Amino acid sequence: MLNKSLKEFTEITFSKEPVPGGGGVSGLVGSLAASLSGMVTSLTTGKKKYAEYEDEIQSIMKQADKLRIELLEGVNKDAEAFYPLSKAYAIPKEEAGRDEKLEECLKVAADSPFNILKLTCKVIELDERLAVIGSKLAISDAATSAMFAHGALYGAYVNVVVNTRLMKDKEYASNLENEAKSLLDEYAPRAIKCYNEVLARL
């Protein structure tokens, strides 16, 4: 999936193909958010005006690049997680072992967007700091990153829930949903706050 051009990726997403879907696209959007965070560091590092933050900027740059790669890998991982689930749905309901197989596939399918959600939260943490110490010429990119991350949060969350709601293991499903909702409730407002604080400074 990652070898596709942007044009091809959007065309496949547009089509009736099962992947990439909401989870994978959320991973891509999260990766773009991390890329923008990295852009801010690239435009800040080495500048005398921000010399006191140079070590921190370098650290954030490394973190942003790691998140960029991990979130981009999440696009493929989400596709790989969904294919077995789509096949499990096709198993005749009367076939022995179908429920167990479906349950296993649902857990794998939910784990992928949950990981995207967790990684995206880390992007927002970087943006919060970059909005303060990043070059003023680039803080609008930190704000843009925060809002991309905000969208990715919600996209990842709903793709967790679409799988947990079908699980037989309600305790497992509830725990995963609650953890995902806790992250969403904490980080979505933080992304908005970051955006608004940057906007007020422009």
Q: Which of 5, 1, 6, 4 is nearest to 24 (CA)?
A: 1
Q: What local confidence, expressed as pLDDT, does residue 87 receive? A: 84
61 contact partners, CB below 8 Å, separation of at least 6? 38, 41, 42, 45
Nearest to 32 by CA among 3, 81, 74, 78: 74
Q: How confident is the model at residue 82 (pLDDT cuts 50, 70, 90)?
A: confident
Whether the pTM exceeds 0.85: the reply is yes
Q: Give the per-residue pLDDT at 45.
A: 98
